[in-house]
Amino acid sequence: MKRFAKLITLILVVAIIMTLGISGCKKEEVPKELTVYVWEGYLTQELEEEFEKETGLELNVVFSSDNDTMITLLKAGGTADLIMPTQNQVNRLYEDDLAQPLDLDKIPNYSNISDSFKDQEWSMWDGTKMGAGDTYVIPYVFGTSGLVVNTDKYSGSVEGLGWDILFDPELQGRVSSRNSAESIMICLDLLGIPRQDLIDDSDATLEAARDKVLDLKDNVLKFYETGAELLDLLKNEEVWVSHIWDGGARKLAAENDKFVYVLPETGGLGWTDTFMIPESAANPEGAHMLIDFMLKKEVAAQITSAGGYTTTVKGSIDMAEGIDKGLYQFSDTEISELVWQLNFPQEVVDAYTSFWEEISTVQ
């Protein structure tokens, strides 16, 4: 009877364990499809196939054309498991409860991100303000804007140049800047006016910069509309010095080493497209897996090799192929001194857009 009782007890224990294993302890399965909104060039077909083979997940890739479209789709009820908003747009997603915090324990390759890009104010959100709380975004592809100089035409030293060269009267009609609010920001930086002041009092801040912006307008040959237009102006030597994004500067330097790219002594302008998981994501587990995959050094190196994009993954440039690596290297000091565009509320964007349209049409 004792043996029989022990057998019955053993059977009951096994049954309980099996029941728990089947119901209470069963690991939730990850959906097999992962929908991602990314910028074109950030995820190659080869990398898509490699990720799918490695994880068994099927990627549904939607290429984004701009931040507004991405955010509008989510607001309208569209679904995505991973998106890539630019850093100066992430506050819109926080404030509309469209994002969820990241679990960095599920992203071990986060350790590959350069320290200069970690813990940025715009990457954290505590439910009411940025700069504290959980991490919501990880910066990935980044770029800078600074000055490009034709050293055959400009006889001065490129060392220690600042934005003030765009106002040099000896270069009048030989300089250019972008036909956008970025030119306003350059003027604010030169005047020592914090960009935060635009949030506190847009009208007064813009009026304080008016004369400086008009001085810039008087000194440029023209404000360029597109990168292609600027490259033509520089190649034709109509313009000798200009504000430029680093991608265009690399193209010029690769063709002719007389073109030199310089980050202004006060710091270049910086942007970065980030990884963020929407609050409505159906597959956040898979999204964490894709982020971790993209943060591998060899994967980031392929992104640079294929599209010429610079990533925040340290050491990836050294592994990239088919590029002039000297044109992609930024020191930690240069990165730490980058001036990031603030996350301006829409009313500020409307104010400086209207101001720029007025200035740019003044005869």
For 230-268, the pLDDT digits (tens) are 999 999 999 999 999 998 898 899 899 999 999 998 888
Residue 72 belongs to what domain range?
33-136+271-329
Asked if the structure places residue 219 within a domain, the reply is yes
pLDDT given at position 28: 54
For the chain, 363 residues long, give each residue's pLDDT as a single digit of tens. Answer: 433 343 444 333 334 334 334 344 344 566 899 999 999 889 999 999 999 999 999 999 998 878 888 898 899 988 899 999 999 999 989 999 999 999 999 999 999 999 989 999 999 999 998 999 999 999 999 999 999 999 999 989 998 899 999 999 999 999 999 998 899 999 999 999 999 999 999 999 999 999 999 999 999 999 999 889 999 999 999 999 999 999 889 889 989 999 999 999 888 899 999 999 999 999 999 999 999 999 999 999 999 999 889 999 999 999 999 988 888 888 888 888 888 887 788 899 899 999 999 988 776
Give the span between the Cα atoms of 124 and 122, in whole angstroms: 6
Q: Name the domain count of the chain.
A: 2
C-beta atoms surrounding 273 within 10 Å: 25
Give the span between the Cα atoms of 283 and 55, in whole angstroms: 13
pLDDT given at position 313: 97
Is 148 within 8 Å of 213 (Cβ atoms)? no
257 plus 154 within the same structural domain:
yes
Residue found by looking up tokens 């955010």 in the block:
71
pLDDT given at position 360: 82
pLDDT given at position 29: 67
Asked if the structure places residue 3 within a domain, the reply is no
CATH number, domain of 159, equals 3.40.190.10
Over residues 255-310, the pLDDT tens digits come to: 999 999 999 988 889 999 999 999 999 999 999 999 999 999 999 999 999 988 99
At 220, the amino acid letter reads: V
212 plus 147 within the same structural domain:
yes
206 plus 350 within the same structural domain:
yes
Residue 148, classified by CB atoms within 10 Å of its CB into exposed (0-12), middle (13-18) or buried (19+), is: buried
pLDDT given at position 23: 41
Give the span between the Cα atoms of 338 and 165, in whole angstroms: 19
248 plus 148 within the same structural domain:
yes
246 plus 177 within the same structural domain:
yes
Residue 332, classified by CB atoms within 10 Å of its CB into exposed (0-12), middle (13-18) or buried (19+), is: exposed
pLDDT given at position 341: 81
Looking only at the bridges linking them, the beta strands covering 241-245 and 175-178 are: parallel
pLDDT given at position 18: 40
43 plus 121 within the same structural domain:
yes
